[in-house]
Amino acid sequence: MNGGKKMKIPIIESLDIIDNYNIEEDLSIMMEVFNLSREQLFLEAGIDNITTKENLDKLYNYCYQHNLYLNEIKWQEYKELFNNSTKVVLCHGSRSGIKGNIRVDVSGESNDFGNGFYLGETIRQAGMFVSEDPDSLIYIILFNPKGLKYIRFKVDTNWMLAVAYYRNTLKGYANHPKVQKIINRIEKADYVIAPIADNRMFELIDAFVLGELTDKQTLYALSATHLGMQYVLKTPKTVDHLQILNTCYLCPIERSAYNQLNDVESNTSLNKALIAKYKYKNSGLYIDQLLKSNLV
């Protein structure tokens, strides 16, 4: 492992999408695992060089087809090496690669918690979110939150209201005192730890906001997903607490595998929502009832 240091990339310097990437390290692992020379490896993969993205795809497809899951291995090794009580290894999925310095003001205001730099707890999370983009990359990043303020959410009504607020669907409830109390706590924090709300989960939250589901029905349906927690860095100073450890190349076959996981999660969420409507019919509170109560 490169320990976060930027290494030279002599054979693919012309590929803009590969930044902070160490192809030589991967080649060494491939040759060792498959007991092949570089020339033999290229021959098996059906390429004569790795100066193009097409050939890189073929090379990494070959590895994935032969059960060498390099990105997962890197992720596991970095966790074992760096995870402790003060630091955490996280992943960031990027649709086209990080250009320049990491920033907290370029992600878009309609994300789960508005502008911020978003990281997930596992490489699976990152892969699923960028699996449909052919130039996507995954960054393994070390985060040291010492001295930073944070707020943590779980899957509950406070989290649902916060996500709906930042995704601009809370509408008439956005200025409600109870909602503003939650938002003020977020805006005072340097970073947020919260469940990931992908598009399937957001559809359920939206149904709650529209008064189609009660809080109990929605929370039961949301429990079907297993995407884990995300770290959302909100203030510029949090960037100084990050270190990119490695950049993971996503070949077409690996992206397809993540797409299949997305399909499984989608079908599970849909079925759980249908069950929730039946199982918890006339149970729980609708949003207008909730905001009139003292439950938030």
Place of tokens 């693919």: 12
pTM as predicted: 0.85
Inter-axis angle of helices 38-45 and 53-65, to 10 degrees? 90
Beta pairing, strands 150-152 & 191-195: parallel
Among the listed residues 78, 231, 244, the one whose alpha carbon sits nearest the alpha carbon of residue 145: 231
Does pLDDT of 5 surpass 90?
Answer: no
The pLDDT assigned to 6 comes to: 35
Does pLDDT of 135 surpass 90?
Answer: no
Inter-axis angle of helices 215-222 and 199-209, to 10 degrees? 170
Distance, CA of 108 to CA of 95 (rounded, Å): 14
14-23, 33-42, 69-78, 234-243, range with the lowest pLDDT: 14-23
Q: State the average pLDDT for the chain.
A: 85
Does pLDDT of 294 surpass 80?
Answer: no
> Which residue did the predictor score with more confidence, 106 or 285?
285
> Which residue did the predictor score with more confidence, 192 or 155?
192
Does pLDDT of 185 surpass 50?
Answer: yes
Question: Helix, strand or coil for residue 285?
Answer: coil
Q: Percent of the chain, pLDDT > 90?
A: 53
- Under 8 Å between Cβ of 169 and 287: no
Q: Any idea what DSSP says for residue 240?
A: G
> Which residue did the predictor score with more confidence, 277 or 244?
244
pLDDT digits (tens, 9 = 90+) for 33-52: 999 999 999 999 999 988 88
The pLDDT assigned to 16 comes to: 47
pLDDT digits (tens, 9 = 90+) for 246-257: 999 999 999 999
Place of tokens 């995704």: 167
φ/ψ of 278, rounded to 5, equals -80, -50
